[in-house]
Amino acid sequence: MNRVLRKSPLYCHPATPAPDIMLAHYFHVTPEGRLTVSYVLRADPAILNLPDPVPNPQRRDGLWRTTCFEAFIRMEGEEGYRELNFAPSGDWAAYRFTRYREGMAHEEVSEPPALVIEPYESGHVYRYTLAAPWLADPRRWHVALTAVIEDRAGTISYWSMQHPAGPPDFHHADNYARMLGAPGEQL
């Protein structure tokens, strides 16, 4: 059975300004370890800094410094977690941490993420599909889906399913707003 999160909104952090943007996401994992995460971005593209898709996307560090979609995944019972970064260009990054902001290392994936961009109302859907062995883990997962959005003026806004108190911090445990059940469980 596939593990799925239904379409849910992302909310702008109250301390960061944001132009007229609406963000939502879908999250889907198969028992074989294929993840598809889709970000629905509705905004006037003329106001956003959106890198154009590249023909050969690469693993790149620092994607979060501009417009970037992210997923944080922590297996139940573990302090460590994974961070996935997806740029609108198709460039990507995958990291693992041993605990909150510690022990960062590159995470291996079975194949680089594939990006499909589709028009959607007054915006686009950015759909990333990734395969990695750890995605097939049948334990329950805590999930935080986030985004960094930069406008043409260079102003950054931070988006998440929920925000912990204080400044934006996507790594914080209170950012994990959803739990994904093991295959076969009802969500």
Residue 185 lies in a domain: no
pTM: 0.90
Question: Is the CB of residue 143 less than 8 Å from the CB of residue 71?
Answer: yes
Which residues 6+ apart lie within 8 Å of 90 measured at CB?
Answer: 53, 54, 57, 113, 115
Q: Which amino acid is at 98?
A: T
Residue 91 has pLDDT above 70, yes or no: yes
Task: Classify 17 as helix, strand or coil.
Answer: coil
Give the count of domains, the chain. 1
Residue 186 lies in a domain: no
Model pLDDT for residues 165-184, shown as the tens digit of each residue: 999 999 999 888 877 665 43
User: How much is the pLDDT for 184?
Assistant: 38
Long-range contacts of 110-115 (CB under 8 A, 24+ apart): 110/33, 112/57, 112/59, 113/57, 113/84, 113/86, 115/53, 115/57, 115/86, 115/90
Cα–Cα distance measured from residue 173 to residue 171, given in angstroms and rounded to the nearest whole number: 6
- The CATH number given to whatever domain includes residue 77 is 2.60.40.1190
User: How much is the pLDDT for 138?
Assistant: 74
Model pLDDT for residues 115-164, shown as the tens digit of each residue: 999 988 788 999 999 988 888 877 788 889 999 999 999 999 999 999 99
Residue 187 lies in a domain: no
Residue 138 lies in a domain: yes
- For residues 3-25, average pLDDT: 82
Residue 65 lies in a domain: yes
